[in-house]
Structure 1
Amino acid sequence: RLEDRAFNSAGKQHLRETKQSETGEATKRSYERNKNISDVTTQHQQKCAQTQIRTCIYMYIYTYVHTRTHRCVHPYEYRFRNVQKRRE
Structure 2
Amino acid sequence: MKLLMVLLLVAFPLYCSAGSGCRRLEDIINKLLDKNMSVSEFKNDLREFIHHHYSSEAVGEFKQCFLNQSDETLKNIGSLMQIIYDSRWCRPF
Tell me the TM-score range normalised by the shorter chain: 0.3 to 0.5
Q: What's the TM-score, normalizing by structure 2?
A: 0.32
Q: What's the TM-score, normalizing by structure 1?
A: 0.33
